[in-house]
A and B are shown apart, each in its own frame.
Chain A
Amino acid sequence: MTTVIMRTTARAIVPIILVVAISLFVEGHNLPGGGFIGGVLTTTAFVIVYMAYGLDFLERGILGRDVDPGKEPSRDRVVVAYRRLFAYGFAVAVLSGLAPLVFGQAFLSQTFVILEGLPIYHHLEVASALAFDFGVYCVVVGGVLTILSVVGAE
């Protein structure tokens, strides 16, 4: 599916998808969105890149590394990075759950503060749940991309 139309479209829409994904993630607490949807949408952007340019494009074209063609897909450096991503994501989620224990709160209990008078934003709400949501985001991106790239390489 590496046609010219596909490539051209991908160039235009992948950045848009990524921006939307990040905004979905950040706005999730107040508007439709959140870590899960943000994560899945980010994955979709990567999938479009894969479809338009092939599996090795990320390594060769963007990161500038050489790809060993005979290597098992599960040992690929990008796949290893994905695996690491979901492991870290899980760690972030668990740690954000453990943090309240230090303050004598129950596991996974969350809180929030509202900051007033900031430049540009003026009014910003910072929820501790964002850290947990970020863990969710990382696990979804890492996990689904691991599955996709391994299955896709077959």
Chain B
Amino acid sequence: MSPDQAVIVAAVALPFVAAALTPLFFRVLGEGTGFAGTLVALASFGLLATQYGAEGTVALQWIPSLNVALQFYVDGWALLFALLACGIGALIFTYSPAYMHGQSGLVRYYAALLAFMGSIVGVALAADLIAIFLFWELTSLASFVLIGYYTADESSQYAARMAMLVTVGGGLFLLVGLLLLSIVAGDVLGPASAFNLAAMLENPEAMQAALRERGLFLPVLGLLAVGAATKSAQVPLHFWLPNAMAAPTPVSAFLHSATMVKVGVYFVGRVRPMLVGEEWLLLFATLGLTTMTICAMLAVAATDIKELLAYSTASHLGLMIAGFGFTSVYGAETGVFHLLNHALFKAALFLVAGIIAHEAGTREIAKLGGLRRDLPVTAAITTVAALSMAGIPPFNGFYSKELLYEAAVEASHHHEIGALGWLYPAVAVFGSIFTVLYSLRFLSLFFGDRPDELGPVQSPPLTMLVSPALLALLAAVVSVDPQFAVDLVVQPGLEATAVDPHEMHVGLPTSYSTPVGMSAVTILVGVAAFPFYDRLHDAIGAIPRRVPPIGANWWYDALVGSLTDEGRWLAGRVHNGLLRTYATWTLGATCALALVGFAAAGALDPIRLGLEATPSIALVLLVAVVGALAVVLSDSHVAGVLTLSILGFMIAIFYILASAPDLALTQLVVETLVLVIFLLVIEEIPDGAAIGFSRSVRDAGLSLAVGVTAFVTVLVTTGARPAGPTDIARGFVAEAVPQGGGTNVVNVTLVDFRGFDTLGELVVIGLAAISILTLIVMRGRGDSDLIDTRAGDELLDDGSAGDGPVGTHADGGDAEGTDSDSTDAGSESERGDEE
């Protein structure tokens, strides 16, 4: 069965449309907006569910000239992930109104949550590389808004920024990887399929062979791995995920259990058939197992229930990545099955953590205990979910962990990996022992003694209890009859991610095998070590405190902190509020870029100075040069302006000699006007402010640079012009009378042929007039503000003391401002010349 285009597009678009309509919902429903979200999520879920069993691509036209289309690929793996996102999304929306009761900014919250869900569904279904990247980064943007929900809270801002930097940064690696992939695909599959991931996955061997042939296999693998690792919080980029718990708990539950953090895992599974091989095994199995172990240990060191769950999430993501990393079919089984299991139990646990925080008023593990009597239903939910997380048989986490052990043991059969053949299983067991430990610790919040300082704990509202209960129920169903879940959703997912899928069977082991022994060791050691939990907790927690550089967070802080400081230093230099500083940097940078650009393009070589000017033109130009020198040497403003106009009039005469009467006329009139404007303004400028030597050297250097750049630019651009009139020029001359009915080609060009350009010029003149009007009106109104900034400038400008007496500083700035206005006006009117 092939998928229905309208249904798929509707399922992806619905959350986005609803996100745009959220303010409307909120006006009608108030805090009940969450339930509208539930309906939207259920609608998307229902639409996607109708496509169960479908496989194929649907495409909408997007950028046909680049062969980019908005394509969606539907198969078991995409549907599993999209359905999880919608299903758990519906539960989160149901849970939210009670949890977020009385908070402000709910419109933003629900809109972002809906957009987030839509982006995740988009990533799951997108088959076009560009669309994947777009949805991928959209999830980062939406999560940025969600993690930073408490906008006034410093730690919330910090966490949101960190998540954004890491995941968007990783997304850029992904983008480069995808582009490399598209280049190869364009050659192998034809340009029409350059961005079509579905087409690539249909020819995995050809793609892999082509990638290897070009030496792009390792770069693509590495870049995609960085993208996936940042999104899925793999060591050493795992640190953003625990910080992301600054978000409201429903967001954490959604983000950490079913959606964003799993996008990386999902993508690894998606490209697995195409890139799988020995490098793949070494990269992802090592990365995943390392993450699994380190984050499990960090979870044991956690002091906050959400922190514990966040580290545990990273650890389980490591498990899934490791699963996909193993090249045998068990690896794919691990990844797909654990993705489902983890989503069920971790979402439930996060929602339980939300209930605890909401009702008990604290999230500190040390202050909680014996909650079983106050929250009996929650305790039952937690028992199922926590034992499942620990991988205790017969709960569902056990089955997928068993598959990981099997894949780890199998790894040495498929590839020559030497010592890694026993190291992988050993590390898997070692990491899982910590998983058992922290799972039991979380469970023990409900058992044992109730601390005396713990206040009264009320039972949560029904809507907060329904969602985790439903999740725990689903987890229990999978636990009791795993084969049912496997047949329903895991097998279709397996077929998309495994190279040689077969009929998958899971169930409780009936006879001894190596993985069963490993599970037994894990559980026995875990339970035996539980009495020593506090000592382990202290020991692991002490390491990063003693040696800060061992924590990834420390590196992030050091890097970002130093960047911020450098940025502040640079801003003080470049952006100090003084017009002359801006002019210096802008002009200097423009000159440097232009000259370097010419040099790089090799345009500077063929410049030859043509000296075939007639005597009259030479004389006019000579007078102009003398005038220019006089401008620089003149000691009063009026003399300067007058000599400047000598220059302008000489240029006008030059135009006449070069038979361009229109230009000459414009130049003459504009020159006169500019002279008048200058004279008007100059009266306001205080005369004779002494300029320091260093400043005049800098100004001379800068003006020399600008002059040289302009000179070289003119030489280069006119040097490249073909001899004689171009086709365009000849065309204009030939068509002027028949088409425009005018014999003045310049004017006919302006109003008949290039009327749109002239219209643009008119807009420029209008804008100049309006902006000068605004500037002058606003200057009258905002005097106090200006004084403040000037005071600040003086503080910043302390380094360049000797600019003149501080008292005249403000005046100087003022004069500069006015001066720039009039030059603006002048240059706008001079634009006429260019016409």
Contact of A40 among B670, B741, B772 (CB under 8 A): B670
Q: A34-B750, A110-B751, A154-B776 are in contact. Are A40 and B829 (CB under 8 A)?
A: yes
Chain A: CB-nearest residue to B835:
A36
- Can you spell out 12 A-B residue pairs with CB atoms less than 8 angstroms apart? A33-B662, A34-B747, A35-B751, A37-B666, A74-B776, A86-B766, A86-B769, A93-B758, A110-B751, A125-B741, A143-B768, A151-B822
B677 adjacent to A151 (CB under 8 Å): yes
Contact bitstring A48-73, B, C-beta under 8 A = 1, else 0: 00010000000000000000000011
Contact bitstring A138-150, B, C-beta under 8 A = 1, else 0: 0110111011101
Contacts of A87 in B (CB 8 A): 766
**Other A-B pairs, 11, CB within 8 Å; known A151-B772, A151-B821:** A30-B743, A32-B662, A34-B747, A34-B751, A93-B762, A111-B741, A112-B742, A133-B751, A143-B769, A148-B680, A154-B684
**A97 and B680 alpha carbons, distance in the complex (Å):** 37
Contact of B751 among A47, A51, A107, A129 (CB under 8 A): A129
Contact bitstring A71-100, B, C-beta under 8 A = 1, else 0: 011100000000100110110011001000
Contact of A151 among B755, B758, B780, B825 (CB under 8 A): B825
**A129 and B754 alpha carbons, distance in the complex (Å):** 11
B448 in contact (CB, < 8 A): no
Q: Closest CB-CB distance, B768 to chain A, in whole Å?
A: 7
Q: A72-B777, A150-B776 are in contact. Are A37 and B832 (CB under 8 A)?
A: yes
Q: Closest CB-CB distance, B466 to chain A, in whole Å?
A: 61
Q: A83-B769, A83-B773 are in contact. Are A147 and B669 (CB under 8 A)?
A: no
Contacts of B768 in A (CB 8 A): 143, 147
Contact of B665 among A24, A125, A143 (CB under 8 A): A24
Contacts of B825 in A (CB 8 A): 144, 147-148, 151
Contact of A147 among B672, B744, B772, B818 (CB under 8 A): B772
**A22 and B616 alpha carbons, distance in the complex (Å):** 32
B positions within 8 Å CB-CB of A: 661-662, 665-666, 669-670, 672-673, 676-677, 680-681, 684, 740-744, 746-748, 750-752, 755-756, 758-759, 761-763, 765-766, 768-769, 772-773, 776-777, 780, 818, 821-822, 825, 829, 832, 835
**A86 and B780 alpha carbons, distance in the complex (Å):** 24
Chain A: CB-nearest residue to B780:
A72
A146 adjacent to B769 (CB under 8 Å): yes
**A104 and B755 alpha carbons, distance in the complex (Å):** 17
Contacts of B818 in A (CB 8 A): 151, 154
A36 adjacent to B832 (CB under 8 Å): yes
Contacts of B750 in A (CB 8 A): 34, 36
Contact of B741 among A90, A127, A135 (CB under 8 A): A127
Contacts of A151 in B (CB 8 A): 677, 680-681, 772, 776, 818, 821-822, 825
Q: A108-B759, A151-B677, A151-B681 are in contact. Are A143 and B740 (CB under 8 A)?
A: no
Chain A's interface: helix, strand, loop or mixed, by majority? Answer: helix
B744 adjacent to A32 (CB under 8 Å): yes
Which one of B746, B751, B773, B780 has the highest number of Cβ atoms from chain A below 10 Å of its Cβ?
B751
A12 in contact (CB, < 8 A): no
A positions within 8 Å CB-CB of B: 24, 28-37, 40-41, 43-44, 47, 51, 72-74, 83, 86-87, 89-90, 93-94, 97, 107-108, 110-112, 114, 125, 127, 129, 132-133, 135-136, 139-140, 142-144, 146-148, 150-152, 154
Contact of B740 among A35, A127, A147 (CB under 8 A): A127
Contact of A129 among B743, B752, B780 (CB under 8 A): B752
Q: A108-B756, A125-B741 are in contact. Are A152 and B680 (CB under 8 A)?
A: yes
**A3 and B574 alpha carbons, distance in the complex (Å):** 47
**A41 and B666 alpha carbons, distance in the complex (Å):** 9
A86 adjacent to B665 (CB under 8 Å): no
B765 adjacent to A86 (CB under 8 Å): yes
B755 adjacent to A97 (CB under 8 Å): yes
Q: A51-B676, A133-B751 are in contact. Are A40 and B762 (CB under 8 A)?
A: no
Work out how many contacts link A and B, with CB atoms closer than 8 A: 155
B777 adjacent to A97 (CB under 8 Å): no
A136 adjacent to B762 (CB under 8 Å): yes
Chain B: CB-nearest residue to A89:
B762
Contacts of B821 in A (CB 8 A): 151
B752 adjacent to A40 (CB under 8 Å): no
Contacts of A112 in B (CB 8 A): 740-742
Contacts of B744 in A (CB 8 A): 28-34
Contacts of A35 in B (CB 8 A): 751
Chain B: CB-nearest residue to A27:
B744
Contacts of B822 in A (CB 8 A): 151
B751 adjacent to A132 (CB under 8 Å): yes
B662 adjacent to A34 (CB under 8 Å): yes
Contacts of A40 in B (CB 8 A): 666, 669-670, 673, 829, 832
B743 adjacent to A144 (CB under 8 Å): no
Chain B: CB-nearest residue to A112:
B741
Contacts of A148 in B (CB 8 A): 676-677, 680, 825
**A135 and B761 alpha carbons, distance in the complex (Å):** 12
**A144 and B822 alpha carbons, distance in the complex (Å):** 11
**A30 and B748 alpha carbons, distance in the complex (Å):** 8
**A123 and B831 alpha carbons, distance in the complex (Å):** 35
B762 adjacent to A90 (CB under 8 Å): yes
Q: Closest CB-CB distance, B790 to chain A, in whole Å?
A: 19
Q: Closest CB-CB distance, B826 to chain A, in whole Å?
A: 10
B755 adjacent to A132 (CB under 8 Å): yes
Contact of B777 among A74, A111, A114, A129 (CB under 8 A): A74
**A154 and B669 alpha carbons, distance in the complex (Å):** 24
Chain A: CB-nearest residue to B771:
A147
Contacts of B751 in A (CB 8 A): 29, 34-35, 110, 129, 132-133, 136
Contacts of A154 in B (CB 8 A): 684, 776, 818
A44 adjacent to B776 (CB under 8 Å): no
B741 adjacent to A144 (CB under 8 Å): no
